[in-house]
Every structure is written in structure tokens, then in C-alpha cells.
Amino acid sequence: MAGATLIVSLVMSGLTFWAVNTIQQDARISDTRFGRDLGLLLASNIAPLIAENNLNEVAEFSGRFYSSTSSVRYLIYADPEGIIHFGIPYSEAEVQNSLTIQRRIQLPDNYATNADLPMVRQHQTPNGEVTDVFVPLQNSGDYLGVLAIGIDPNPTVVASSNLTRDVTIAVFISIWAMVLLGVVFNALTITKPIKELLVGVKSIAAGDFKQRIDIPLGGELGELIFSFNEMAERLESYEEQNIEELTAEKAKLETLVSTIADGAVLLSTELDTVLVNPTARRIFGWDSKAVVGHNILHHLPPTVTVKLTRPLYRLSGSQAAIAEDSQDESLDPVHKHREGDEFRITLSEPTERTIRILLTQVFDQQRTTVKGIAMTVQDITREVELNAAKSQFISNVSHELRTPLFNIKSFIETLYEYGDDLSETEQKEFLHTANNETDRLTRLVNDVLDLSRLESNKTYRLGDVEITRPIEQTLRTYQLNAKDKGVEIIQELEPNLPLILGHYDLLLQVLANLVGNSLKFTNSGGKVVIRAYLVKQMNPVMNQTQKVRVEVSDTGTGIDPEDQAAIFDRFFRVENRVHTLEGTGLGLSIVRNIIEKHHSRVHLISEVEVGSTFWFDLEVYQEPEMLTQVEETTRNK
């Protein structure tokens, strides 16, 4: 804009100066014409006087002429040799003395003595421009000298052209002053805010939303600045909110990761540990180690490092490992390009444990770039143990089933093939054994079924049970058996026992198992006692509660302390070592499970060759109404 203003102002000024110049040119031409006419007029009047040598008349006439013509600056007469004889405004005295003081006129080079027209030129003097007119003085063909007249330029034209010039200059200067002012004003009011806006927009584009513009301006620019500041403020608060939300989300995720039962480790693509949860720390023994920020391969147990090094490098996107893998023909195509891997590793320190490690690649949103690796660590020691126990159980059951089946088959086969050769007593004995073995098989199958039902987390509805009833029923069942064996069964039941909370059939099974065992392991002349009595206990809230304790004691073989803990395990039988009495080894497991379903535990006190006592406590049954009443009274307190 400044450039355009400059060009326009220059053109305008040029035009004005051109106009002034033209006017001055015209003025000069008219001055020349005027001077020439004036010179010719004066010369025609003067020439005869000069020819007569009437110098006084010349002086007088010239004086009159000079004083009557305002525009004549000087008048000079010179003879053909160029010696000045007379000049106005020079004094009279000077003219008179001109004979003594000889002065010569300086004629222009192109001055011609015989020219018809006077010679005219302009020249500058300290008093301004002057038009010199040189008129040759001729009289009857004689050259008498030269008349030089100096004519002042037309004062009106000079004044008007000067005025025009001054005005043009003034206009030019004022335009420039205005342009300069405009530039300064622009710089202050437009350029600076726009520059600041540019800086602001750039920093916002770079993600710095703290940028504000503090220039108090009105108008559209002011509105723009205001809108910019508002936008930056909104973006900043939006960002703060986003950061807050992200932090909250991160905290939530970290809490989630830290509370999950599985170990979780997050790795960067450089295999540096980014996040480790407490479970992973515990599994790898990193409780007092700073592993975050370090390469995980330097901290994993050696067995894990050996197994995971290559898969970790492959999953981290390391080109070398991928290339190596793609050349590995032993890997199937799926394996070569999969996102995760699963490993089962046994750790020997500090205790022997089995862990399962799952490696999964973490991708960016577009699922194109690997951002890291998520490592999930599960301690599957218990699972492995349970699996082993299950296999052991199945093999035990198979073994236990095979023994009676084999016996039954052998006896029946013998009877079938050699029945005729056997005596009747022998045949009966064989059938009796086969029958016993069938009973054993039935018991075993029933026990296995009972146990699996009890272990299947099935919930049993407990209700009010009068404990004396299952005890008496058990005694009735075993009375005959005991008599045959010569063992005395005694029941000691406290009178007026309260109802207990339990399951009749299950309790019957417990009592049958315990009394059955006692009879089995007590020799003739021994005693089996069933007791039931009320016990008072202090619970943790310092309230006194009543429970009914049931004991089954015998004066039998007793159980070796080293076997006492194991007898509750499935299929454990001391007889497995001794092989004397029949049994499945499941009875006490069933007892323990049933008592646990009654929210209690079964205890054992035993001494070899003295006897054994199995006991457990049962909760006293509370009427539902009573329960509500109790709850209400507690609430009212």
C-alpha cells in the first residue's frame, strides 16, 4: 500500500511539476517575445539619435522609457566595439565618466550584428531570472552598436508557478507524512496484533494452550483477539479436563491391574518394564527390586529368561527376530505371525511353583504399530496340583474298582469252570466272597458318588435336627454288628439337648462312617461311645453361644500321629500299608466334607493302642422368628 501511495504521489507530483514547467516555459517565451518587441521599439527610436551622436537625448529617452516600463531591469548601450557608453540603472555620472572608465559588454557567441531580429537569452542572477535582449542598432545600413535590455520575468506568472510548486511540494510532503503515519499506525494497530495472533496460533497448533494475547484493541481485530483468547481458554480447560479424565482412567486401570489376582507386567518395545503389579512382583520375587525402567530380561528368573528371550524379541517387533522366525521352517504360519504366546514354566525358587505366562502385543489405535507387550503371569501351582490330585484320584478309583471286580470275576469264573469239582461249602464260601466283594464295590461306587456330590459345591438346605435321632438310628444299625464283634456300644446323650442346625441324612452318614470305623478298628472286648452334649463358647464379639458337641470314641487300635492328618485325605488308608481290614479310604473325606457343609470342622484325638476320638460341634438351631427378634433387639440396643 505504501508502495502504491508512493507511486501515485510521485506521478501526481511529476504531473504538477511538468505543468509548472510548461507554465514557466510559456512565460519565458512570452518574456522573450515581449523583450524582443520592446528592444526593437526602443532600438528604432534610439538608433537615429545615436547616429546623430545625441547621447543626451538617448539618455533622456532611455530614462523615460526605463521609468515608464516596470519590467525593464537594465538598459545598456555599447558601440560596435562593444564599449559601453550608457547604462541604466547606472548613474548619470557614470555615463559621463564612461569615456574614462571603459567597460565592455559581454555579447553572446551567436550574436550577429546584421541580424534582423534581436538575440534573446535567459540567465540566472542573484536577483532572479532575467531575459537578456541584444538588439543591433542599425541606421541607414550602418551598424551603430548594440542595445542590451534586461527584462524581469512576468511577476504574476512567477508567483503563480512558485505557488503551484510550493503547493505541490507541500502536498507531496503531506502525502508522505500521512503514509508514514499510516505505516506507524498500521504497525501499532494491525501488524503487531496479527504477529501476536500468528505466534498464538502457532503455539496452539503445537499443543500449548496457555497462550493469550494481551492487546487492548477495539473493532474487528479486537474481536478476533477476544475470540482467540476465548478459544485458547476453552482448549486449555478441555485439555485439563481431558488430562483429569485420563489420569482418573489411568488410576482406575492401575488399581484394577494392581488388584487382579494374576500378575501383570507391561513392557515397552525395548523390553523395558513400564508397569508391574504386586502379584507379578511376588511371583518373580521383585518385592524389594526396582525393575521399572529396566530391561526385564535382566531380572526374570533364569528359566523364564531362557524361554522368553526369543518370543519377547519377536513380539516387540524386532526385525532381526522376525526375519529369523520367518526362516524357521519348524514354525507353522500361524505361529510366525501371531500376536501372543503362552508358556508354562516351573520355577524352583523360593518354592517349587508352576506359572503360566501369556505374552500379548499391544498395538496403537490403528493396530499397525506395536507399542509394547503385555505379560500376564498366572501362578497355576494349585491348578497343577489339583490336576495331579484328580489324576491320582481317577487312578485310585480305577485301582479300587479293579480289585473287587477282579475278585468277583475270579470267584465266579472258578465256580463256573470248576464248580462241579468243589464241595458245597467251598461253593458257598466262594459265593459269599463274591457277594462281599460286590458289597465293597457298591460301597466304593456310593462313596465316590457321595464325595463328588459333596465336592461339587452343591448347597444343602440345613434345617432343625434333633441330634439324638440320627445317633440312635446309627446305634440301631450297628448294634448287631457290635454284638457279633464283642464290642460294646454306649450312648451318652445329655438330656434336653436343643435342636441343631443340620442335614439329617448327611449327619447320619457321618455317624455311620465314624461308628463303622470305630467298630472296624476296635477289637473284641473294646468299647465304642457316642456322646452328645451342650458346650458354651465365647465368640469373637464376646457373646456366649451354645453348640452341641458330638463325639465318637473307641478303645481301638488308635492312629499313629504321622497318619492323623492324612486319614482325612481321599483314599488314604493306614491299611494300604497294613492291608488287614476292608474299606474304601473315602469315609473320612466324606465326613470332613459334610461337617464343613455344617460350617464346622472335624477333630481327632488318638493314641496308638489306646483308642481314638473323633468330634465336631454343631450350631444350635434358631427359629427364623427368633432370629428376627434377636436382630430387632440388637438393632434397638
Enumerate binding residues for ligand ADP (CB under 6 A). 513, 517-518, 521, 554, 556-557, 559, 567, 572-575, 583-588, 612
Q: Hunting for cell 514547467 — which residue is that?
A: 21
The nearest distance, CB 402 to ligand ADP, in angstroms, is 17
Which lies closer to ligand ADP via its Cβ, residue 132 or residue 447? 447
The nearest distance, CB 486 to ligand ADP, in angstroms, is 17
The nearest distance, CB 261 to ligand ADP, in angstroms, is 33
Q: Is 308 helix (H, G, I), strand (E, B) or coil?
A: helix
Which lies closer to ligand ADP via its Cβ, residue 365 or residue 524? 524
Q: Single out the residue of 112, 137, 148 nearest to residue 46, CA to CA.
A: 137
Which lies closer to ligand ADP via its Cβ, residue 98 or residue 513? 513
The nearest distance, CB 356 to ligand ADP, in angstroms, is 34
The separation between CA 514 and the C-alpha centre of its own chain, rounded to angstroms, equals 66
What is the residue-wise DSSP string for 336-377?
Answer: HT-SEEEEEEEE-SSS-EEEEEEEEEEE-TTS-SEEEEEEEE
Q: Hunting for cell 527376530 — which residue is that?
A: 321
Which lies closer to ligand ADP via its Cβ, residue 36 or residue 592? 592
Which lies closer to ligand ADP via its Cβ, residue 240 or residue 607? 607
The nearest distance, CB 588 to ligand ADP, in angstroms, is 3
The nearest distance, CB 485 to ligand ADP, in angstroms, is 13
What is the residue-wise DSSP string for 564-577?
Answer: HTGGGSTT--THHH
Helices and strands in the chain: count of H runs, count of E runs: 18, 18
Strand partners, 132: 121, 150
The nearest distance, CB 552 to ligand ADP, in angstroms, is 8
Burial readout 105-141 (b: 16 or more C-beta within 10 A, e: otherwise)? bebeeebeeeeeebbbeeeeeeeeebbbbbbbbbbee
Q: Is 133 helix (H, G, I), strand (E, B) or coil?
A: strand
Which lies closer to ligand ADP via its Cβ, residue 152 or residue 554? 554
| Degrees, nearest 5: CA angle 474-479-483 | 155
Which lies closer to ligand ADP via its Cβ, residue 9 or residue 509? 509
The nearest distance, CB 578 to ligand ADP, in angstroms, is 8
Q: How many other β-carbons are positioned within 10 Å of the β-carbon of residue 53?
A: 10
The nearest distance, CB 526 to ligand ADP, in angstroms, is 10
The nearest distance, CB 270 to ligand ADP, in angstroms, is 58
The nearest distance, CB 438 to ligand ADP, in angstroms, is 17
Using a 10 angstrom Cβ sphere, with 0-12 exposed, 13-18 middle and 19 or more buried, the burial of residue 58 is: buried
Which lies closer to ligand ADP via its Cβ, residue 510 or residue 532? 510
The nearest distance, CB 557 to ligand ADP, in angstroms, is 5
Which lies closer to ligand ADP via its Cβ, residue 374 or residue 528? 528
Contact, 85 vs 56, CB < 8 A?
no
Type of residue found at 285:
G
Which lies closer to ligand ADP via its Cβ, residue 302 or residue 525? 525
Which lies closer to ligand ADP via its Cβ, residue 315 or residue 482? 482
What is the residue-wise DSSP string for 210-259?
Answer: T--------HHHHHHHHHHHHHHHHHHHHHHHHHHHHHHHHHHHHHHHHH
Grid cell locating 266 = 507391561
Which lies closer to ligand ADP via its Cβ, residue 277 or residue 557? 557
Which lies closer to ligand ADP via its Cβ, residue 62 or residue 612? 612
The nearest distance, CB 284 to ligand ADP, in angstroms, is 40
Q: Return d(Cα 206, Cα 202) in angstroms, integer.
A: 6
Q: Supply φ then ψ for residue 582, to 5 degrees.
A: -75, 155
For 612, which DSSP code?
A: E
Strand partners, 611: 607
Which lies closer to ligand ADP via its Cβ, residue 361 or residue 589? 589
The nearest distance, CB 511 to ligand ADP, in angstroms, is 13
Q: Single out the residue of 33, 36, 63 nearest to residue 49, CA to CA.
A: 63
Q: Return d(Cα 381, Cα 383) in angstroms, integer.
A: 5
Q: Return d(Cα 264, Cα 283) in angstroms, integer.
A: 10
Type of residue found at 182:
G
Q: Supply φ then ψ for residue 162, to 5 degrees.
A: -60, -45
Q: Single out the residue of 102, 157, 107, 104 nearest to residue 133, CA to CA.
A: 107
Q: Is 387 helix (H, G, I), strand (E, B) or coil?
A: helix
